[in-house]
Structure 1
Amino acid sequence: MTNMTIQKQVFVQELLNWFRENKRDLPWRKHKNPYYIWISEIMLQQTRVDTVIPYFENFIDKFPTIETLADAPEDDVLKAWEGLGYYSRARNLHSAVKEVKASYGSVVPDSPKDISSLKGVGPYTAGAVLSIAYDKPEPAVDGNVMRVLSRYFLIQEDITKVSTRTSMEKIIREIIPHDAASDFNQGLMELGALVCSPKSPKCLTCPVREHCEARLNGIEESLPIKKKAKPPKVEQRLVALIEGIGVNKGKILIRQRPDKGLLAGMWELPHYIADNQSTNWMGSDELNEDYVIDQYALETGIELRNGHYMFDINHVFSHIFWDMKVYRFKENHSLIEKDLIQRESGYHYAWISLQEVDQYVFPNVFLRIFKQV
């Protein structure tokens, strides 16, 4: 028996033993319901476990079956997702569940080909659902898994490359136990989350440390190798909290984003990207509210008065950084919703009270603004 064979066998057995003794008590682990596991895996993409737990529990309470989610209006789905971010995940899940209801009798497919055909289901999600829910020996390679494999097998290739992921999937297919695929894949994820952390890995408590090549070579903290992503583009945006007068007294103006693109269909406070002239004073104490008023009249046709600066706030998307300044205004003359719809193509406007905010789906950054108001 070669050293490599021993290394792989020890890895599998020690990982399984460790996971079965140390696995966290997570709500999606209390059953083998593939629908619930699917939801949890989508929510866990780019989101911490502690953050996901209450959202998951609320989501399955509102949509306990594939049929209830498939039949729900999109606004209800997005409202249940509100605050998790990356809303395309929710839209794709909603679309895919409709397909499962229509084409698979409301049963999550258990074949790689069928489940991978669903919208928003990539190789990792497909492997996670198939292995965890159906115990099929399919690889599920996420960031945690790539970190563990890079260190244990001393894989010094850029993990952002497709070829590196493919080679790791090949390794897993070679060693994954066909009678314990669920525990094995979850064990890999758990090890990466709790022990084999990105910084200061807990090697002394690691169940597979004896044959970990990165540890033996003293380079565990330099792996995995990952090409640095481009920093997000910075956009300086001017946000208006517009208070109504006349028929709109006691209300604020909100608008709905177009049906396509970033944050599609969600509601927000009116805002626009500052041009070069405004950025000259964006960082200074001499904030020119008159300039903002003029820009809103130019951009939207909405006439404002009594403007004053309130506070700064920011929000990071995967590729854009919104650096935002929030202003408070009153409308200059009473406007009705019909007038507003005609004023800016692609947006629908509405006047609402702050007590009605919960009835609309807002990106998290605007919920944070409302909390500060």
Structure 2
Amino acid sequence: MLANVLSNSTKHYPTFKALNDREMELYGSEINVYTRNLLNFNDLAFSIEFADPKFLIRDINQVKENLNLLGEIVFQPNLKNQGEFDDTSFDTEKRNLMSNLAAVGDNQDLVSILGLTSLLYQNNPDRQIPIFGDIDQLDKLTNAELYKHYIDVINNDAIVVNVVGDVDEAEFEKIFMNSMFADNIDGSRHDLKIHFDKFDELVESPAKKEKHKHLNQSRLALAYLTKKIDQDVSRLAPQAMNLILGGDDQSQLFLQVREKNSLAYSVSSSYQPINHLVTIQAGLDAKTIEQALDLINKQIDFIKNDKFSDDQIVHAKKVLDTRREISSDSIQHYIMRSIWETVYSKSLLTDDQFKGELNKMDRKHIVAVAQDMSAIAQYRLIGD
């Protein structure tokens, strides 16, 4: 809600149209304010992307003007008084967000993900509420409470500043230190205490839940925990294992469960390297869930028993290499690398380290990852 209200308008641009017009004056600058989970942190991100001034006909000091506009978004919100946001901005964004949250229940894939997440983090109250919030909490949220939260964020939260582009560092630093950011940012606020969720209890006693709903399709969401990787095993082995299992349109789940046996409308897997989780999602008919689950487990056994081909390993390596190349050709890639360097640098690989881990990986590494997987949670959304 805070992200939406702050991106709606500012003190000097008190309507969304006025703010958008200012972005157009700056050759189509693009402002984004959003939230995301980073480990145990809730990240409120502000960004502005703008044209490189050397490609523009008219020099309007792009860096300074865009930095000032972003500063207005962060530090000069559109207020009704000293304790509340502008009513129009608050009411509009609350109404929009209420509508979006009310529609969450219609997105069955999301519902199944949230159901699985609730099982995984059943002992963590903070993770029981999704990053986009809860409709009941939002309904009770007042303008004054949101503004109080904003003040707390601005005054106390740790701050990471990223600059990506063909920018002269000395020139940017001079502009930055003469902007409102320098007056409002305390450089000592970097006390980020990392907490990792543990799933030991779920390994011993996996969590299961089944919910019935009036739907044409059913959903199956599964979670598996992989063990931490030994030093002699490639750090990319879990990602390669996931690609062979279900993370690609050439994967076992796609080819066997969906294409060959037609037991799912959709099926895929993903791997989360920070918490070592493999999750599988499938959309299917209620009457075929047990049959599909059995075939899914057979695909995991297929990898555990070293039955995959050399071609599958080559394909997985190519996909990993290509995805890294593609991702590195974006501004967001460099921003996220910088953030992770601050939050949890151990999660990153340099280009040379990535190549080394890719070359180091062999089938024994992939088999080892699959053999150490433990099923820890299962969520079924059954269509009646």
TM-score (norm 1): 0.30
Decide which structure has the larger Cα Rg and report it. Answer: 1
